[in-house]
Amino acid sequence: MIRLTIDGKTTEVERGTTLLHAARFLDIKIPTLCYHPLIKPFAACRLCVVEVKRSWGMELVPSCHVACQEGMEVSTGSSHVLAARRLVLELMLARWPNVPILRKYAAELGLEKPRFASPLRDEREDACILCGLCVRACDEVVGASAISFAERGIGRRVATPFNLESESCIACGACALVCPTSYIKFEAEDHRGKPPEFLLDPNTAIYMPTAQAVPKVPSIDRDSCIHFQTGGCQKCVEVCEPGAVNHKMVDEEIEVEVGQVLVAIGYDTFDPTPMAQYAYGRLDNVYTGLEVERMLNSTGPTGGRVLLKNGKPPRAVGIVHCVGSRDENYHRYCSRVCCMYALKFAHVVKERSGAEIYNFYIDMRAFGKGYEEFYSRVLNEGANVIRGKVAEVVQAGWSKQKEGALLLRCEDTLIGRFREIPVDMVILCNAIEPRRDAEQVGRLFGLSRSPDGFFLERHPKLDPVATMTDGIFVAGCAQGPKDIPDVVAQACAAAARMMATISKGEVEIDPVRAEVMEEYCSGCRVCSALCPYSAISYVAERKVSQVNSALCKGCGTCVAACPSGAMTGYGFTDRQINAELEGVLAV
């Protein structure tokens, strides 16, 4: 530790601390222009000069660069220091009279009217003041060196090589971020690598996936992170005090040996783009349920307000049920959750925006606990429910007044009339569908899928969480569309089933097994070639085959193939099956 005195206050700092840092610890303000905590000191603006007592007198030194030394006596506010700062600032104001940060410091230093005017006077508020932060950020931090200073002396300016679009630029925006005058502006042309959900937000390469992320830790977007593009930066590592940022982390494949697997891979939402009549992706303000959910989120892009693309609240909102569900062309099943979330939207959107709400339903399925009551409440709140499938969503018209408005066409089956409802926003309650990789997952675990594509349970009533494969269980929407209470119940059931096996400590296997009657076995080994589990081995000394009953699954293929009838399958012996045959054909 080093002891020094700043403005009469004695302080202790670590070796290597700059005077600027030491002063800031003591709450002493020193103006800076070319300094940035994450970039190496440049000592070029000279605005941060302070006075240090030397053997030969008082010396002005740049505090951003000079390190504290034992016994140093520093003055940051003497008339000498202030006069120097004022003059340096005056010199800069002579050239850039309107740059806000210079004017701010001028006001702080009591510089009322700058005396000088430079021949290169630049009146812009966002003029470049040559602090070099952008150049250094690009070089030191980013490692791209896409911009640099060109020319020298008074002609110095920040430029790309030969003033052409720099090939080294990785469009990270670091230069614009550090620019104190906004001379460098960043215009995003695309959002590389951002998940679609985030397109609505400005974002950084290191971000919290969502405001309520679990676990609540930020993640790094490899495609946007400067470090993964240039090998430089790593400023997050520098500022993270616990040292939690690790750029070396890579995806790992971990092999875990388990005895049971719960397949709960969830669902995908139906993409309504192919239903051209609903104009999703074609007309503005047509959203899917999940997009609206994001909009309603208080940490979402609109802070939870219901807004149209033009930033105004909607006057009327149409909510279309059964988009892709209960539809011969897409999914014949009912997705089970849409009616209720559609009613929730009706309630929340009306509450937040005051818009007129129209729900278009085929049948209102409010079957759960308290659901019907909620339906009544929404009806009492004044939501309009129209029984009828929406035929199409079209642009309302081209007049100025109707600009952006949409028209919903449908048949109101209760009054037997064709109706056209004008709205500003359409919410499509799209279906739940099996995950696009459900087939591969099914193959992996030997699971069957029902015609709708969801995983098939062992028995729809008696064994709704197990599958045909021992030790593999299903839960949630992987097994079929269901709402949260049902998912929780099914998952608990599956967990309980698995726990039961674990707590028992041993596994029951089916008694259906093959066995060799050695007295008949000739040792031909037809059976062993057929066994998919390699459960049949040949006992050379007795010249017979033998079944390992722990490996045998009891399929019986070997039994059917045994030429000498030596192989027999318990539960399904030839005698038993022949007896059955006689039985079924007796009448």
Partner 1 sequence: MPHRMHLMVCAGTGCVANRSPEVRDALVTEIAKRGLENEIQVVTTGCNGFCGAGPLMVVQPDGIFYQQLSPKDVPHLVEEHFLKGRPVQKLMYVPPETRTPLPKMMDIPFFSRQRLIALRNRGLIDPERIEEYIARDGYAALAKALSQMTPQQILEEVKISGLRGRGGAGFPTGAKWEHVLKAEGEPKYVICNGDEGDPGAFMDRSIVESDPHSVIEGMLIGARAIGARWGVVYIRNEYPLAVQRLMIALEQAREYGLLGDNILDTGFDFDISVSRGAGAFVCGEATALVSAVEGRPGEPRARPPRLAQHGLWGKPTCLNNVETWADVPPIINNGGAWYAQIGTEKSKGTKVFSLVGKINNTGLVEVPMGITLREIIYDIGGGVPGGKKFKAVQTGGPSGGCIPNELIDLPIDFESLAEAGSMMGSGGMVIMDEDTCMVDVARYFLAFTQDESCGKCAPCREGTQLMLDILTRITDGHGTMEDLDALEEVAKVVAETSLCGLGTSAPNPVLTTMRYFRDEYLAHIGAHKCPAHVCRQLNTYRIDPAICVERGHGCGVCRRECPEKAIFGEKNQAHRVDATLCNKCGTCVDVCHFNAVIVE
Partner 2 sequence: MSRNGRGFEPRIVGFLCNWCSYSGADLAGVSRMKSAPNLRIIRVMCSGRVDPSFILRAFQLGADGVLVAGCHPGDCHYQEGNAKALRRVLLLKRMLRDFGIDEHRLRLEWISAAEGERFAAVSTEFTEQLRALGPLVLARRAEVA
DSSP calls for 373-407: HHHHHHHHTT-EEEES-EEEEEE--SSSTTTT-EE
**Smallest gap from residue 196 Cβ to partner 2 (A):** 33
**Smallest gap from residue 164 Cβ to partner 1 (A):** 19
Binding partner of residue 95 among partner 2, partner 1, none, CB under 5 to 8 Å per kind? partner 1
Binding partner of residue 443 among partner 1, partner 2, none, CB under 5 to 8 Å per kind? partner 2
Positions in 416-475 near partner 2 (CB under 8 A): 443, 446, 448-451, 456, 460-461, 468-469
Enumerate residues 6+ apart whose C-beta is below 8 A from 279: 286, 392, 393, 394, 406, 426
Enumerate residues 6+ apart whose C-beta is below 8 A from 50: 19, 23, 30, 60, 61, 63, 74, 75, 76, 81
Tell me how far apart the alpha carbons of residues 170 and 223 are, in angstroms, rounded to a whole number: 11
Q: Does 584 bind partner 2 (CB under 8 A)?
A: yes
Binding partner of residue 119 among partner 2, partner 1, none, CB under 5 to 8 Å per kind? partner 1
Give the number of other CB atoms < 10 A from CB of residue 586: 6
**Smallest gap from residue 399 Cβ to partner 2 (A):** 52
Which of 275-300 are b and which e, b meaning 16 or more Cβ less than 10 Å from the residue's Cβ? beebbbeeeebbbbbebbbbbbeeeb
Closest CA to 473 of 452, 451, 455: 455
Which range, of 32-40, 200-208, 292-300, 564-572, touches partner 2 by CB under 8 A?
Answer: 564-572
The answer to whether the beta carbons of residues 6 and 74 sit under 8 Å apart is yes
Positions in 530-549 near partner 2 (CB under 8 A): 530, 532-533
Which of 15-45 are b and which e, b meaning 16 or more Cβ less than 10 Å from the residue's Cβ? eebbbbbbbeeeebebbbbbbbeebebbbbb
**Smallest gap from residue 287 Cβ to partner 1 (A):** 53
Per-residue contact string for residues 514-533; x = within reach of partner 2 by CB under 8 A: ----------------x-xx
Nearer to partner 1, 134 or 516 (CB): 134
Give the number of other CB atoms < 10 A from CB of residue 51: 22
Q: Tell me, what amino acid is at 293?
A: E
**Smallest gap from residue 2 Cβ to partner 1 (A):** 15
The pair of three-digit structure tokens given for residue 481, joined into one six-digit string: 């569309």
The pair of three-digit structure tokens given for residue 293, joined into one six-digit string: 């959910």
Q: Does 210 bind partner 2 (CB under 8 A)?
A: no
Tell me how far apart the alpha carbons of residues 339 and 345 are, in angstroms, rounded to a whole number: 10
Nearer to partner 1, 102 or 233 (CB): 102
The answer to whether the beta carbons of residues 426 and 292 sit under 8 Å apart is no
Q: Does 556 bind partner 2 (CB under 8 A)?
A: yes
Binding partner of residue 62 among partner 1, partner 2, none, CB under 5 to 8 Å per kind? partner 1
The pair of three-digit structure tokens given for residue 311, joined into one six-digit string: 């930033």
Instruction: Provide the residue count of the chain.
Output: 587
Chain residues in the site for partner 1 (CB under 8 A): 33, 41-47, 49, 60, 62, 65-67, 83-84, 87-88, 91-92, 94-95, 115-116, 118-120, 130, 132, 148-149, 151-156
Tell me how far apart the alpha carbons of residues 517 and 436 are, in angstroms, rounded to a whole number: 48
Which range, of 89-97, 331-339, 475-483, 573-581, touches partner 2 by CB under 8 A?
Answer: 573-581
Nearer to partner 1, 43 or 176 (CB): 43
**Smallest gap from residue 115 Cβ to partner 1 (A):** 6
Tell me the pairing of strands 2-6 and 9-13. Answer: antiparallel
Binding partner of residue 41 among partner 2, partner 1, none, CB under 5 to 8 Å per kind? partner 1
Q: Does 572 bind partner 2 (CB under 8 A)?
A: yes
- Considering only residues 348, 512, 524, 526, which one is a binding residue for partner 2 as defined by CB under 8 A? 512
Nearer to partner 2, 242 or 583 (CB): 583
Q: Does 245 bind partner 2 (CB under 8 A)?
A: no
Which range, of 31-39, 45-53, 418-426, 578-586, touches partner 2 by CB under 8 A?
Answer: 578-586
**Smallest gap from residue 121 Cβ to partner 1 (A):** 11
Which of 460-474 are b and which e, b meaning 16 or more Cβ less than 10 Å from the residue's Cβ? eeeebbbbeebebbb
Binding partner of residue 512 among partner 2, partner 1, none, CB under 5 to 8 Å per kind? partner 2
Tell me how far apart the alpha carbons of residues 86 and 102 are, in angstroms, rounded to a whole number: 11
**Smallest gap from residue 148 Cβ to partner 1 (A):** 7
- Identify the DSSP state of 142: I
Chain positions contacting partner 2, by CB under 8 A: 443, 446, 448-451, 456, 460-461, 468-469, 512, 530, 532-533, 553-557, 559-561, 569, 571-572, 574, 577-578, 580-582, 584-585, 587
